[in-house]
Amino acid sequence: MKNNSKIIGFFAIAVIVFIAMMTNGVLKTQVSPYGTNDIVCWNCGTVNNGWVQTTCTNCHQQLFFKLTVYTTPINCNVSVYSSGIGAGVKDINGVYHSFPNYGTKSSGSTGVATWTNIVPFWGPGNFIYISVSKSGYGTKSMQYMHMPQDYTQSITLETFTVNIQTNPVGCDILFGSNTQGQGTLKNSGSTGIVTYNVGSGTYWLQVSKSGYASYMNWQSVSANKNIIIVLQSLNLGQFGLTVNTLPSGATVTVHGIIRTSNCTFSALDVSEYQVDISKNGYFNEHKYVYLDHDTILNVNLTALTYDLIIQTTPTNIWLTLSGYGPQNSGDSGQVFFTNLLAGTYTLTASKTGYVTVTRTITIGQDATVNIALTPIEGGQGPVPPIPQQKTTNYILVYIAIATIALVALLVYLKRRKK
């Protein structure tokens, strides 16, 4: 009996020690994915034994809630984390902790990622952050104030076209990564232009070419974008710029120097220059040239054109303009000649019964010209043409028939006498 009493005593002591250790949290065996933490009820603040209960032991409210994220496109990486002054988690010493990262999941072939262990915070300030990313699409993030309820969020990743133009051509371009010094390497080639398709975000851009100072900087993308990068030459010197125009004789201005094409500007320093070209009767041209070697610039000038309206009195007059076929002014009394080059034209207006008019017209702007014809025969108006009609002389027909009949009768009588 004594031995049994000792065993019972030792067992009782062991139970008391075990209970004490459990009370102090020393022997907790339930470990959450985020450490040995207790869940503080968002409703009443009761500390629940870490990650064992799904409802509060005091108010019986739900402790964990579901977050569902739908992504477009599919197979995106979805990361979820929370922040705030604590996020509903309390350690065994009663200290609040910001909630750790909930982790990253793939939305897979269905485009859906789900978490069932989202914990609201006891008190204000708990934000849930969602970040969605995919190669070629960039990253899109959002946040929401987490309330004690299941939550669904749809996130669409967009792609934008980024055109990068380099001067000079043939540059190496590194772009498309949010990590400095990384990205997709392309060469701008003979056109000096490369194209990238990326999502919304900030990307590292690096442009380099032998003999030039490299360009390195961050570029923010939230829409289709054109980027022009001009590299500075390390080979300092002076070069010539020749400007040829078609037609020649245009006024060319470079760096304050005015010359007449075709022409050459010598001893220009390495730099970017604006070339202004003008000629009477032609549209002005403005070109930009980065000069780091002797360069020839050929420019075809576009002629200015004008519209001419002819208003006629009377209507339905035939009009002929130099180089253009005849047109009738019709019942409206108007003829339109469009896209005429600047210059002098001969206009002829005519109509039956009216005096023909010939006039010289100089075109240098849009114009309207009135033409009035004078009637022939004292102003009586046009003489209508007499229609030619075919008439038949029936008397001659009758005589011819009678003559033929008489001859036939004489021939008949002569034959009877014989």
Task: For 1-59, write each residue's pLDDT tens digit.
Answer: 445 555 555 555 554 444 444 433 333 333 344 445 567 777 787 777 766 677 888 99
| Cis previous bond, 148, omega within 30 | no
Is there a domain that residue 226 lies in? yes
- Sort strands 127-134 and 77-83 into parallel, antiparallel or unpaired: antiparallel
139 with 97, same domain?
yes
Q: What is the model's pLDDT at position 324?
A: 84
Strand partners, 339: none
Is there a domain that residue 41 lies in? no
Give the CATH number for residue 164.
Answer: 2.60.40.10
pLDDT in tens, 212-240: 889 999 999 988 999 999 988 777 778 89
Q: Highest-confidence range of 53-67, 80-94, 122-136, 289-303, by mean pLDDT? A: 289-303
| Cis previous bond, 247, omega within 30 | yes
Whole-angstrom CA distances from 414 to 403, 407, 409 are 17, 11, 9
More confident residue, 114 or 56: 114
What average pLDDT score do residues 142-149 get? Answer: 78
pTM of the predicted protein model: 0.41
Number of domains in the chain: 4
pLDDT band at 382 (very low <50, low <70, confident <90, very high): very low
Is there a domain that residue 52 lies in? no
Q: Describe the strand order of the beta sheet including 271-278 as a list of residue ranges.
A: 257-260, 251-254, 271-278, 285-291
More confident residue, 401 or 395: 401
Q: Which of 18-22, 73-77, 129-133, 326-330 shows the lowest mean pLDDT across its residues?
A: 18-22
**How far apart are alpha carbons 143 and 141 in whole angstroms?**
7
Is there a domain that residue 106 lies in? yes
Token output for 253: 């201005």
Contact 191, 204 (CB under 8 A): no
74 with 145, same domain?
yes
Residue 214: closest CA among 193, 196, 232: 232
220 with 193, same domain?
yes
Whole-angstrom CA distances from 321 to 204, 337, 341 are 62, 9, 13
172 with 151, same domain?
no
Say if residue 264's pLDDT is above 80. yes
Contact 349, 356 (CB under 8 A): yes
Contact 349, 357 (CB under 8 A): yes
Whole-angstrom CA distances from 208 to 174, 176, 188, 223, 295 are 9, 16, 10, 25, 22
Q: What is the CA radius of gyration of the chain?
A: 48
pLDDT in tens, 166-205: 998 999 999 988 888 888 999 999 999 999 988 888 899 9
pLDDT band at 386 (very low <50, low <70, confident <90, very high): very low
Q: What is the model's pLDDT at position 35?
A: 46
pLDDT cut 70: percent of the chain above it: 79
Q: Which of 300, 322, 345 is the last residue of a domain?
A: 300
Q: Which of 62-76, 194-208, 372-386 shows the lowest mean pLDDT across its residues?
A: 372-386
138 with 168, same domain?
no
Whole-angstrom CA distances from 168 to 181, 192, 195, 267, 272 are 21, 7, 16, 20, 11
Is there a domain that residue 200 lies in? yes
Q: What is the model's pLDDT at position 162?
A: 94
- Kind plus residue range of the DSSP H or E element containing 257: strand 257-260
Burial class (CB in 10 A: 0-12, 13-18, 19+), 336: exposed
Task: Please provide the average confidence, as pLDDT, over all residues in the chain.
Answer: 80
Q: What is the model's pLDDT at position 348?
A: 93
What average pLDDT score do residues 52-75 get? Answer: 87
Give the CATH number for residue 319.
Answer: 2.60.40.1120
Q: What is the model's pLDDT at position 29?
A: 32
Residue 192: closest CA among 220, 222, 226, 221: 226
pLDDT band at 385 (very low <50, low <70, confident <90, very high): very low
**How far apart are alpha carbons 43 and 122 in whole angstroms?**
7
173 with 221, same domain?
yes
Q: What is the model's pLDDT at position 200?
A: 80
Q: What is the model's pLDDT at position 13?
A: 52
Token output for 161: 């076209």
149 with 171, same domain?
no
Q: What is the model's pLDDT at position 192?
A: 92
Q: What is the model's pLDDT at position 237?
A: 75
Q: What is the model's pLDDT at position 357?
A: 92
Contact 350, 317 (CB under 8 A): yes
Please give the residue range of the domain that contains residue 287. Answer: 238-300
Dihedral of CA atoms 128, 134, 140, 143 in degrees, nearest 10, equals: -10
